[in-house]
Structure 1
Amino acid sequence: MIEHMPIPRAVAVVVDGPRVLIIKRFLRLGRSEACPMCEAYGERGPMCPGHHYAVLPGGHVEEGETAAAAALRELHEETTLEGRVDRLLWTGWHNRRPASYFLMADVTGTPVLSGAETAEHGADNSFELMWVTADEFDELNLHPGDIRAPLAALLGHGVGPA
């Protein structure tokens, strides 16, 4: 049996003073075994109860693409923003997938939800772009939870405007 490696995730961290750009989400899938958030939160019922959470802009690293290039592409696809990668901040895991978090610099434009997120936006799968401060991470259920502390520390260091 060939075991497939999970598709890596690349994440764009867009900071504006004490704020970071997030995507506020609500996801409800029919069956809990089909829902990555049910798995992440240990929901065991037959039906997905629905999940309120937030993520940073990001997504799959495509074949032949670097994680940094994927972070830039995903940033533009999801928010219409343009920018450049300043540096890799950290690596971690997102729903059993390796994830790379990149600080964006020279970001231009106004964030507007776009791409697949616009097409999929609805009552059971909603997306909302928001600028938030570190004191909102817990209330918004920023996912994955282990990024909250390093992201709060980054915001506390007053990284320059996006």
Structure 2
Amino acid sequence: MSENVEAENQGPRAVAVVRRDHEVLVIKRHFNGTDYAVLPGGSVESGETFEEAALRELWEESTLRARVERQLLAGEHNGREARYFLMADVVGTPRLSGPELEAHGPDNSFELMWAGPDDLRELGLHPAHLQTDLPLLLAL
């Protein structure tokens, strides 16, 4: 996600979709007075595939390990290409880590949480199309 690091809005974005029963892992944000949520993910680094970036970002932000099952969706996030990957064989317990943990504070907070389909709109999942697309794609 590394949106704390809003300056990181260059280049394509790789996103990890982690499912637990009828819920997905989201990062609830409070930034500059705005509350919203995003899925774990971030910029694809030079020499990295989208899949590799999704796995790296998932580990960096949540300490979870997984494998990519398949690409779920391709779209845009804040004007840049974004690819969403469904994760499988997820190992670990989600714990905030990496740049998000370092930047975490009262005016820039990050919280890992499980969200069901009815929670996505209330949390302001961004980009907004995910609020309806994700439950349909995952049959949550």
- Scaled by the length of structure 2, the TM-score of the pair is 0.91
Q: Does 1:10 align with 2:14?
A: yes
- Answer whether contact 1:25 1:53 (CA < 8 A) is retained: yes
Aligned residue runs from structure 1 range 103-118, under 5 A: 103-118=86-101
- Answer whether contact 2:72 2:137 (CA < 8 A) is retained: no
> What count of residue pairs does the alignment treat as equivalent?
131
Q: Does 1:144 align with 2:127?
A: yes
Aligned partners of 2:123, 2:133: CA distance in 1, in Å? 16
Q: Does 1:76 align with 2:59?
A: yes
Q: CA RMSD in A?
A: 0.9
**Alignment counterpart, residue 154 of structure 1, candidates 123, 137, 140:** 137
Structure 2 equivalent of residue 22 of structure 1 = 26
Aligned partners of 2:118, 2:52: CA distance in 1, in Å? 30
Structure 2 gap ranges (5+): 1-9
- Answer whether contact 1:19 1:155 (CA < 8 A) is retained: no
Deviations 1:114-151 (A, max 9, x none): 00000000111100000010101111000000112221
Larger proportion of strand: 2
The structure 1 segments of at least 4 consecutive aligned residues displaced by more than 3 Å after TM superposition are: none
Structure 2 equivalent of residue 32 of structure 1 = none
Structure 2 equivalent of residue 98 of structure 1 = 81
Aligned partners of 2:62, 2:15: CA distance in 1, in Å? 13
Deviations 1:64-122 (A, max 9, x none): 10000000000000000000000000101111111000000000000000000000001
Q: Does 1:53 align with 2:57?
A: no
- Answer whether contact 2:25 2:113 (CA < 8 A) is retained: yes
Aligned partners of 2:114, 2:63: CA distance in 1, in Å? 15
Rg (Cα) greater in structure: 1
Aligned partners of 1:106, 1:84: CA distance in 2, in Å? 6
